[in-house]
Amino acid sequence: DIQMTQSPSSVSASVGDRVTITCRASQGISNWLAWYQQKPGKAPKVLIYAASSLQSGVPSRFSGSGSGTDFTLTISSLQPEDFATYYCQQAYSFPLVFGPGTKVDIK
């Protein structure tokens, strides 16, 4: 199975900050990576797919980049509603595997 890691595991940031989260796959997955946001008590919501494609309805302050094994999710200007946990997920092969998550909380 492909293993996914994320860093950092948590980050404290302020409204307006630029936040970057990194995801690494244990082997090359081309650009088959998705990013999800999850708020407490809610289902995850897809933000980015195919590494850099913005899901319909998601604000443009979210962006993704990368290919192969290293990927990045960037929030250009953190908003109050962005405090949440973010997961990457490889979509290259089954079983699908999620990263362990990165919690973004208020500084």
Partner 1 sequence: QVQLQESGPGLVKPSETLSLTCTVSGGSISSYYWSWIRQPPGKGLEWIGYISHSGSTNHNPSLKSRVTISMDSSKNQFSLNLSSVTAADTAVYYCARYGSRRNDIWGQGTMVTVSS
Which residues sit at the interface with partner 1, rule CB under 8 A? 1, 32, 34, 36, 42-46, 49-50, 55, 87, 89, 91, 94-101
Distance, CA of 100 to chain centre: 11
Residue 43 or 80 having the CB closest to partner 1: 43
Which single residue is written with the structure tokens 């690494």? 24
Residue 16 or 95 having the CB closest to partner 1: 95
Closest CA to 99 of 6, 2, 1: 6
Cis bond before residue 40 (omega within 30° of 0):
no
Smallest gap from Cβ 42 to partner 1, in A, equals: 8
Residue 17 or 46 having the CB closest to partner 1: 46
Smallest gap from Cβ 14 to partner 1, in A, equals: 26
Smallest gap from Cβ 53 to partner 1, in A, equals: 9
Burial of 75 (0-12, 13-18, 19+ CB in 10 A): buried
